[in-house]
Amino acid sequence: MLGAPFGEEDFEREQAEIRVLKLLKNATCIKRIQDRQLEFVLLRYCVATVPMHLCRLMEPHIVAQGLHRHEVVVKEQLQRIAADAGQQIVLSPQDWAWAKLPVREGGLGLQDLPLISGAAYMAAMGAVARQASKVHHSTGSTAAQKVRAWFDDNNDRFERALAEVAEKVNGDATNPLCPSLPALESMPSQNTLSKPIYALRRKELLLETMTREDRAWKLSCGQFGAGSWLNCIPMLKRFICASSVFAVMLQIRLGLVLKSAELVTHCKCGTDATRSRAMQNGRHWMTVCKKAHRGLCHDAIRDVIHRLYRQELHVPSEVEVAGLFSQLKSDGQHRPADVLVPASASEGGVAQALDVVVTDPTSKSSLEKESSKVPLKAAAEAHKRKMQVYQRQLEAAGQARLPFIKVPLAFETTGAMGEETQKWWQSVLKLEWERNNDMGLSSRREMGIDHTWTANSFVSFWLQSISMAHARMQAESVMLWVGKCQPTVGYDHDEWRH
């Protein structure tokens, strides 16, 4: 049963710390699982949240020391999980601050309890005030009236604490979320109060000193679709990663220098590592290197989208359809559609040629377009280039026109969907609603189809599926090419074969 100490301030502070340490007693045991992905799930959803009830029941300054002890343990476990076998990772204060942000803000979702403890406390106090007022008005209870009066009766400390939270949450907003003391009953939920606090923290972190490449990467990581794989529960094959791969996925997400790449001096494509920091954090092999498996990451996304239409929406889509027009691919083939969606399942009654493209927000060309300042700029440019090609083909077709509409699906290497790709995603949700709404069910569990407790709707299941397929293949490719580019002892077998 959850509870909190009650007494003098020193007693409460001491007991809060003791309780936190007791709750963390078994945290180091998660390493016995010997599976990095499962260990991270337990770290994120169990260990990282165990003192939350204390944040709601105790004033922030009282629970602060206990939360500090909690952070030390969580950080140590993350460093162990994200490290390559036999290696050690030490997260900088900046890396750790990013890791604690929600996934939607570019983090790992480990929660920054010291940052939001005030919001948690005020949300709980608002709930207490509502309940006390409700009981008093319905029963005339004197005890309930006294509880509600406690917040107003010369309680300067509580009022100051409320003002501090309101300043963080409301900022310059015209419609403040956090109410004043007289309107305490209207206090929103902890989640609602925490969102603007986390958003402000992300803005502050983006202003800290870092390279343009890292800023572009961090900016992209906080966009729609990026990092959805972090929400995956490894209960289904599509959501499972090898331990070593998952560790690299975490390193890539945080923009860390890959320990395995420290000895690489040059790539097989001829790039010198001393001139490319992108080789140290793996980004070189995502889109720049012409020898890397860029096409496999593209194909991983394509195949999930194809299954989405075929298996879930029962749409007879086709993959890599040839002959729609003479657009010559790099492999000498004419395939304008990665996935062709028939007219019967497309808005406007015209077939859609979905064309997947993965682009890097940290590349030189993207940075020249201000991708370190403008969210999803790299995806927007990739979409623009695809549509320019389509426009030329339209002009070449003349009055005969083309039997399809080109729909570029631009993803950034972080997994973020471009703005136009998000519009396509909304059209998919509309199609799903039209085809499945007659069942009256939104829970995949109730429908008896594949699901996990974090992927129990169409939206969460397929967002996680796309994100995991991309991030996993990308990490596997980076690991492969880091290995290929290690300094050789004796013969270089790749060169020997040539």
Specify whether the CB–CB gap between 467 and 227 falls below 8 A: yes
Q: Is residue 157 part of a domain?
A: yes
How far is residue 233's CA from residue 266's CA, in Å, rounded to a whole number?
37
DSSP category for residue 236? S
Specify whether the CB–CB gap between 66 and 51 falls below 8 A: yes
341 and 378 within one domain: yes
175 and 140 within one domain: yes
431 and 307 within one domain: yes
Q: Which of 160, 176, 201 is the last residue of a domain?
A: 201
121 and 83 within one domain: no
Q: Which of 75, 91, 107 is the last residue of a domain?
A: 91
How far is residue 122's CA from residue 188's CA, in Å, rounded to a whole number?
9
Which neighbouring-strand residues pair with 354? Answer: 339, 407
User: Quick one: pLDDT at residue 302?
Assistant: 95
User: Quick one: pLDDT at residue 152?
Assistant: 84
How far is residue 433's CA from residue 458's CA, in Å, rounded to a whole number?
10
410 and 343 within one domain: yes
Helices (H), 35-153: 36-45, 52-57, 60-82, 93-99, 113-139, 142-150
Q: Is residue 219 part of a domain?
A: no
381 and 326 within one domain: yes
User: Quick one: pLDDT at residue 327?
Assistant: 46
For residue 47, the enclosing domain spans 9-91
DSSP, collapsed to helix, strand or coil, labels residue 188 as: coil
3-state percent breakdown (helix, strand, coil) of the chain, nearest 5: 60, 5, 35
Can you read off the two tokens belonging to residue 294? Answer: 């860029």
Can you read off the two tokens belonging to residue 18? Answer: 């003791």
User: Quick one: pLDDT at residue 498?
Assistant: 47
Cα-flanking dihedrals φ and ψ of residue 319, to 5°?
Answer: -105, 140
CA 378, chain centre distance (Å): 18
How far is residue 302's CA from residue 355's CA, in Å, rounded to a whole number?
8
User: Quick one: pLDDT at residue 4?
Assistant: 81
82 and 127 within one domain: no
What per-residue string of b and e applies to 142-181 under the rule 16 or more CB within 10 Å gives b? eebeebbeebeeeeeebeebbeebbebbbeeeeeebbbee
User: Quick one: pLDDT at residue 486?
Assistant: 85
Q: What is the tally of structural domains in the chain? A: 3
394 and 315 within one domain: yes
Residue 310: which CATH number?
3.40.1350
**Which positions of the chain have pLDDT values less than 50?**
1, 325-333, 496-498
User: Quick one: pLDDT at residue 496?
Assistant: 44
User: Quick one: pLDDT at residue 325?
Assistant: 47
User: Quick one: pLDDT at residue 396?
Assistant: 82
Q: What is the mean pLDDT of the chain?
A: 90
Q: Is residue 194 part of a domain?
A: yes
DSSP category for residue 485? T
Query: Read out DSSP for 257-301?
Result: PPGGGTT--B-TTS-BGGG-HHHHTTGGGTTT-SSS-HHHHHHHH
Q: Which of 181, 201, 221 is the last residue of a domain?
A: 201
384 and 341 within one domain: yes
Find, among 77, 461, 485, the residue nearest to 250 by Cα.
77
User: Quick one: pLDDT at residue 156?
Assistant: 86
Which neighbouring-strand residues pair with 334? Answer: 328
How far is residue 476's CA from residue 463's CA, in Å, rounded to a whole number?
20
User: Quick one: pLDDT at residue 330?
Assistant: 47
User: Quick one: pLDDT at residue 326?
Assistant: 43
Can you read off the two tokens belonging to residue 210? Answer: 């870092």
